[in-house]
Amino acid sequence: MSRLPLLLLLLLTVQPAGATLIRIPLRRVYTGRGVLNPLRGWGKPAKPPRMGAPSPGDKPIFVPLSDYMNAQYYGEIGLGTPPQNFSVLFDTGSSNLWVPSVRCHFFSLPCWFHHRFNPKASSSFKPNGTKFAIQYGTGRLNGILSEDKLTIGGITGASVVFGEALSEPSLIFTIAHFDGILGLGFPILAVEGVRPPLDTLVDQGLLDKPVFSFYLNRDPEAADGGELVLGGSDPSHYIPPLTFVPVTIPAYWQIHMERVKVGTGLTLCAQGCAAILDTGTSLITGPTEEIRALHAAIGGIPLLAGEYLLQCSTIPRLPPVSLLLGGTWFTLTAQDYVIQIVRGGVRLCLSGFAALDMPPPTGPLWILGDVFLGSFVAVFDRGDMNGGARVGLARARPRGA
């Protein structure tokens, strides 16, 4: 490569002068199989509210509860003055921030197993009192809205409206390793029209632009889960260039996928299909018939809830699976898409692809979860007056490189 193209490549990947990057370390916890599979929460999605639609009041907004059973990626934030610390899951599939409250109902079991926000311990607390409710696939969450200061990645002083959960009648929240959820979806998904945290940081001049990126570590033995970067991306996390794909529906991070190839003999999504990039979902999911065909080609053995087991001895011979996005092929090797679990000296190999049928009008679609996002860094760009929302994708650099 000549020196001139190399210089141009460096200029394309360097952040603009003065850009502020907020870095939040992520922790990864492998939780194994559980008694509930929250992916079923995707099964009956509600239509996203129309632009400018009135607030639904006390009616719950339906959002997918991500697959927390296989892995949880979460980081730390603070709320109040002085900051009260919480572990939150950073979720691209929702747009609200909520944490448990000290005012939660006595019989709301998850409250007693997690950190709880105490408004009386914060000198900057401002009551709001508006009721909110979110219906997940495995239970209902409700509470009241409040306002206080957010501390995140070293940034302090952002005044945000967040939810204090008063009732969490769902087993999934009891066994979760995180306290609450910080949504990174689009404003249209926000319950009660609350301004999402990312937008608030930009509005108050604490973040240069509404862009964030994920660099995930899928090593099951590592506590280091990677890094969430707010305000841009770190080129040291990926191998440039980034391929940008436009967001087709600005609610979830939905894009158009042109095709999926399994080795050289099978083509899926042949006419193009919709796909959602979701940091809260562990696996890559797709329509049942296509996922069944994929596993017929790689020797998958059906399990419950649309998941498949693979023989670990076949990993060296398994074909690559390639996704065509934005005119670029993103190839997953068997090392990328096979989840190897060792428990009690026994090694199990779980396929990173699972069947999940999304009914119209939302579906059919694919969900590109952590199996994909662990291999490829995703830069989520909400866009501005000069351009629409888009997602940038590039192969993640190996850890320690």
Active site positions, annotated: 91, 278
Q: How would you write 354-371 as a 3-class SS string?
A: EECCCCCCCCCEEEECHH
Taking the CB of residue 180, how many other CB atoms lie within 10 A of it? 28
Which two three-digit tokens encode residue 99? 């944490």
Strands (E) in 31-125, as ranges, are 61-62, 71-79, 84-91, 97-100
- Please give the DSSP secondary-structure letter assigned to residue 231: S
Give ∠ CA 317-318-320 in degrees, rounded to 5: 125
User: E strand or H helix at 131, and its extent?
Assistant: strand 126-136
- Please give the DSSP secondary-structure letter assigned to residue 24: E
3-state secondary structure of 373: helix
Cα–Cα separations (whole angstroms), residue 214 to 25, 172, 254, 344: 10, 24, 16, 32
Pairing verdict, β 97-100 and 155-167: parallel
Taking the CB of residue 129, how many other CB atoms lie within 10 A of it? 7
Question: What is d(CA 181, CA 99) in angstroms, rounded to the nearest whole number?
Answer: 7
Length of the chain: 401
Question: What is d(CA 379, CA 381) in angstroms, rounded to the nearest whole number?
Answer: 6
